[in-house]
Amino acid sequence: MHKDELLELHDQMVTIMEYFRDLEDVDPDLFEPYEQLDVTPSDVHKSKSEHKHAVFVLGNALASAMSEEEFSDAGRIGKRMKELADDAEQRL
């Protein structure tokens, strides 16, 4: 995936995060690990690896938010996103 495509994916995932953040049932602290990374889609100067890591961390949080909702396979997706985030973090 090219960096510009990764930035677009990152941006779309942030939009989804904002949707879940507005729901009353979702714990707002769920997205804290992503926010602590301080990597946003507009940070084009940050490396592709940093954005990839941020996408996986955010993906894990989104999967957790979905599993707390009515989505069925989100728990497995969340586990895999966490594994990918851990792997991406080691490559930073």
Helices 74-90 and 48-68: angle between axes, nearest 10 degrees: 160
Q: Which domain holds residue 12?
A: 3-90
- Full-model pTM: 0.76
The CATH number for 44's domain is: 1.20.1270.110
Q: How high is the pLDDT of residue 50? A: 95
Q: How many domains does the chain have?
A: 1
| pLDDT 10s digits, 19-73 | 989 888 888 899 999 999 999 999 999 999 999 999 999 999 998 888 755 555 6
Distances in Å between the Cα of 49 and the Cα atoms of 5, 31, 45, 58, 68 are 13, 20, 12, 14, 29
